[in-house]
Structure 1
Amino acid sequence: MKVFSSPVRDFFMKTVVLATLSLGISLSAGCMSGASSVLSRHADFQQRKEVSKLNKEIALASGSLPQNQDEQMPERSGYRLAGGDVIDISVFQVDELSKKVRVASDGYIMLPLLGEIQVEGMTTRQLQDYLAKELGGKYLQDPHVSVFIAEFRSHQVSVLGAVNKPSIYKIRKPMTVLEMLSMAGGLTENSGTRVYVRRTVIVPGKKKKRRAESLILDLRELVKNPDPRINIVLHGGDTVHVPEAGVVFVEGAVKKPGSYQMKGEMTVLKAITMAGGSLYAAKEHGIQVFRETAQGQKVLEVDVDKVRERKGEDIVLQDGDIIVVKANALKKGLAGFFKGISGVFSIGHSI
């Protein structure tokens, strides 16, 4: 029987140990990779299942709509008047003040006694209340005024992102977010669960002020809650964008507010940098992150000033997080930020 010398024996044993360890690590990595692949496929399946359910709900919500846009459409309380609309004004028992008028391209109408009135940006209810107040204060006792839209102007709404038929749609009646998503063929399989609406709102008043507004709507709330404050009526020029899954939203006092695809580990500071950085008016010590959890909504705060100085901790973001950078009241900034009801975020900017 041949006996190896001590150095040879030691080398042989080391080789055997290393080979065994290498095999163990390979098997472990293979198991981890397999588990990761299974989890990834399960997440993809759950994503497709949720989108399929949302598409069914969108179709149900829009199923009662007439297919022909020329058919008479009931008035929508959230619709705001614009140039080209024809409105029917009726003052009870005063035929001389009851008439049908078209809103001029500059947003004004002409009425007996009251003269020229800027109505662009008003809802019919707001105009109704305004006329009753003006007539009651000067000419009539407790006037009963009714305002209806006789004819809607044609306008364009863009539906973009993860929908089956992204396009600029020309519509001739007020339509809600769900109705426009249905018109765009519903959501694609890789769609996220939030909708991003950008619009310019005209503030009623003597001075024709405009305000840029961003709305982030939760599709899950949208399909189960008929509240018109969530399923909003769209205006001409509105853009509806459905981001793909795996995005975060950056809003408020940043240079390029919007939705951003998550690439690797995304933090608050990285997201703000992708949004072009903070504006001069930004309050970087109180940045908020709104996150949906199984227990409800959670609000986190980050002091980006301290993060930059390496004196504070940043937050690793999750899919669907909303980062809001508020503005210093002493500096030029936002017209307002609010979360009025569940499922809706609204950020307004004076322009």
Structure 2
Amino acid sequence: MHSSVLARALVTLGLLGNLALPLDAQQTDYVLGPRDVFTITVWGPGGVSERFTVETDGTFTFPLLGRLKAGGLSVRQLQDELTAQLRDGYFKDPRVTVVVDEYRSQQIFVTGEVKSPGTYTLTRPMTVVEALALAGSTTANAGNVALVRRRIDGEASKAPVTRTGDELKEIRVDLTALQEGVLANNPVLQDGDTVAVPRAAPVYVFGHVGRPGEYTVGRDATVRQILSLAGGVSQRGAAGRVKIIRMVNGSEQEIKAELDDHVQPGDTIVVPERFF
């Protein structure tokens, strides 16, 4: 999939712009975890404003209230909990805000055919398409799917997951559908998830061309472009009878090809011999 194509789709859907939402709009659904740093402000007479760090056990110590749980709570849930407890004997009508200052607890990994693979911090609920945008979108060699790999035991992986197994769940995301604006399968990522974008399957060229073989091409490549990569149709080749052999729902189909038809990863292009 060409990176420019997916990038244009992201802009069209308004997803890239969402990355610049105000902090208060981004943070309220963020789930706190160990090592996150946040500021609690209690507004009004006698109010306080102080920074706290979530300890490894998911708690922190707040004046007046003592040891409180933060890990596993969203920012909004912590605000509501603090408001309720402070109202119970300390403030008549407290207004409490919680703002995350440093995101340290949650991360995801983006690997494979993206421009900037690496580790990314989860600063808010993030979907696959937003993670790909952070990674600079896909490269020209990317296939049509992204794979979300997640541990089924609920534990967060500390490094990119490069294999599958009984302990892992793998979610397939159709990048072509995302490009077309179909967001039904655009899962929200969890701490420790790996988003892997495999390289596109090659296209095979056989028959009467200059250089038969396999070629890795972008998603929008045409029969004409691939035949050019393969050295063109030879003098004995029949350019008007080119066919594509394609697997559809597990069965092989033979399609009469026009030179401007788009190919799909895994297609086989066959150029037969001329009759005379």
Which TM-score applies when normalising by structure 2?
A: 0.50
Q: Which has the larger share of helix?
A: 1
Higher relative contact order (CA 8 A, sep 6+): 2
Answer with 1 or 2: which has the greater Rg: 1
Which TM-score applies when normalising by structure 1?
A: 0.41
